[in-house]
Amino acid sequence: MHIGLIGGIGPAATIAYYRRLVEVFKAEDLPLKLTIVHADVSALASNATSGRRNAQAEIFVKHLMQLKGAGCDMATITALTGHFCYDEVAALSPLPVMSAIDPVDEYCAQQGIDRIGLLGSPSVLTTKLFGRLQKVHAVVPQTGVAELGDTYMKVALSGECAQADRDLFFAAGQRMIDDQGAEAILLAGTDLGLAFEGQTPGFPVIDALEIHVAAMVDLIRNEQVALRSH
């Protein structure tokens, strides 16, 4: 199976996806067929903030047509913010589209996690991940949501995370653990790896990117099992 990624949203997250896919597929001894198409993170940020779902869906569908032309069998959007128009994209897509949020929901259910705190873009925070989490209760910081969202977008657009930005994310995560009963903090923005990778924030962290990559590995592993059985 040939995987297609809509990347570029943002660039640092796309690099992280590519690196992890190569590492995990190699470790699993699975064939990796991958094509990445570059989307405009600024356009996504503007459309998500304004709620222009159809406009962004049309952009994504053009990218999906490129991936189909490259021979991809399925595709996925690397940015969780991009899932604000997931239903519109899925309805128009020329390829099957894998959600990056559904695997997180399933992971939390399997791990017995009832309550998670969210860090991510403004639209992710204000909508609690677009209401797409059904098996786990999501909370967001009680104060400073606008500052957190704006800081995330600054990090995503620049591909850099200053120590002050990291401190802001860590403090918000700790407050959700201490004050709102969150059992873990979900990095509901794939660029948050810039802040959290190699760090010890002092609370449990769930990386949506890692869960998404694992879901793609499962898909290919199941395909390989089916091929061998025939």
Contact between 94 and 65 under an 8 Å Cβ cutoff? The reply is: yes
Question: What counts of helices (H) and strands (E) characterise the chain?
Answer: 10, 8
Q: Assign domain 102-207 one CATH number from 2.40.100.10, 3.40.50.150, 3.40.50.1860, 3.40.50.2020.
A: 3.40.50.1860
Helix (H) or strand (E) holding 220: helix 208-229
Q: How far apart are CA 135 and CA 27, in angstroms?
A: 30
Written as tens digits, the pLDDT of the chain (230 aa) is: 999 999 999 888 899 999 999 999 999 999 999 999 999 999 999 999 999 999 999 999 999 999 999 999 999 999 999 999 999 999 999 999 999 999 999 999 999 999 999 999 999 999 999 999 999 999 999 999 999 999 999 999 898 999 999 999 999 999 999 999 999 999 999 899 999 999 999 999 999 999 999 999 999 998 888 877 76
Q: What are phi and psi of 205, to 5 degrees?
A: -125, 135
> Which residue is it, tokens 């873990």?
184
The token pair that represents 87 in the structure block: 């239903």
4 Cβ contact partners less than 8 Å away, ≥ 6 residues apart: 34, 35, 36, 37, 64, 67, 68, 70, 72, 74, 75, 76, 95
Q: What's the pTM value of the predicted model, to 2 decimals?
A: 0.93
- Tell me if 1 sits within 8 A of 220, measured CB to CB: yes
In what side-by-side order are the strands of the sheet with 137-139? Answer: 137-139, 115-119, 184-187, 205-207
Phi and psi, residue 135, nearest 5°: -105, 0
What are 179-182's contacts with CB under 8 Å, separation 24+?
179/142, 180/115, 180/117, 180/139, 180/142, 181/115, 181/139, 182/115, 182/116, 182/117, 182/139
Q: What is the pLDDT of residue 230?
A: 64
Residue ranges, comma separated, of all CATH 3.40.50.1860 domains in the chain are: 2-99+210-229, 102-207
Q: Quick one: CATH architecture of 2-99+210-229?
A: 3-Layer(aba) Sandwich (3.40)
- Predicted confidence at residue 157, as pLDDT, reads 87
